[in-house]
Chain A
């Protein structure tokens, strides 16, 4: 223990001790930056201090390049560093390789609290979200009129739909007044009712830059807006309260432009194909009706009347045969009847009687039958009709039945 160290040996020894300590190889220290110096090499030198103490810090260029923000005097930060001893000065220092803003943890907690509260109020409810119109006649954009964001939106819209109509409400999208300006833009569009959809657009930036989009009043303004709102804030991985409250979240401003306007050529194609489809469907409809008519007309239901007609014909045929038959029958019966009566007439005919030796006497002049002797006069010419001919006679005498004298001479 009596060994005498050189200064260099001592500093090296302490340096090695510090480097070997597990805790000091990655220690997180909070404090305020002061005495900041940036060297042309890209290294940062500053002092980290709190109320009572201070410590020297150095951030070499390769680490400083990865810092999420530029160190500034007066800001509170948390550094992650390893302890070392600067040999030349024998000065204790921290080699910084990570830098965070102090309080960022609290900001995240605030964000989550606000998000939970608004969600429980229904500000983010899917049911409340308005439909984005398929074809907005005019699009409102709340954004900075400077920079790439508005140019990107215009470029994408022009590519998709050459005749779009865009109205820009200029607003700061970063800083203290940003949230209020964006709110005013939404309220202005809603009051004027001069657009069909509103896009809130902002390019990528740090969490601090995008902080204005976590404004509670902005969330409520979006919720109560009558016009659908698309939120397009930051990059794809950035989520803000504004995104949750809006009717649609677009990952980037360019994709908001894609979501808000259809591709015109596709619309034209769709309309044309709809028209063709209409004609095809009508033709199909008519063809189907025709076919069902055809199949109906060949079905029993439609065949039935024809069957009935045919069977009626058959019935008629049968009937007519029967009528014919019965007529023939009747006629033949009548013929028999007639011949029967003719027989009887025949029997009644005087001519038939004559064959049995009777004769009919008629007056030759008058042709009147002579039925009594009282009408006979002398030399009266009488015709006697026998069954096979006539005899012409002259009356010579007559005698009346019952007188018995035989005759009365003329």
Chain B
């Protein structure tokens, strides 16, 4: 099984791979050892996705001549 290093995976790739893992487990081929590895990989991916949801920093900024500055919308 080829696996990308988990820290380099984007959110959508992680979700896609996760779906693939569930499908493979459901297909039921492969050995028990393989399925356990797949399962562990899947759990890692769900954790990665959860982390990615939280790691986005809440920020609204605007480019000015001085660089980035906080932005407050009018009204």
Contact = CB atoms under 8 A, between A and B. Distances in A.
Interface of A: 131, 133-135, 137-138, 145-148, 150-151, 154, 161-170, 188, 264, 267-268, 270-272, 274-275, 277-279, 281-282, 284-286, 288-289
Interface string B11-37: 110010011011001101000100110
Contacts of B57: 163, 165
A233 B58 CA distance: 26
A274 B46 contact: yes
Contacts, number: 113
A271 B62 contact: no
Interface of B: 10-12, 15, 18-19, 21-22, 25-26, 28, 32, 35-36, 39, 42-43, 46, 49-50, 52-64, 68, 71, 73-75
Which 9 pairs between the two chains have the least Cβ-Cβ distance?
A: A281-B25, A134-B12, A135-B11, A163-B58, A168-B62, A278-B42, A151-B73, A282-B39, A275-B46
A6 to B, nearest CB: 63
Contact of B53 (A135, A147, A278): A135
Q: Is the interface of A mostly helix, strand, loop or mixed?
A: helix
Contacts of A145: 62, 71
Nearest to B23: A281
B9 to A, nearest CB: 12
A120 B26 CA distance: 46
Nearest to B59: A165
Contacts of A164: 56, 58
Contacts of A268: 50, 53
Contacts of B60: 154, 165-166, 168
Given A278-B39, A289-B28, 5 more contacts: A133-B11, A150-B73, A166-B59, A167-B61, A278-B22
Contact of B25 (A134, A167, A284): A284
Nearest to B29: A285
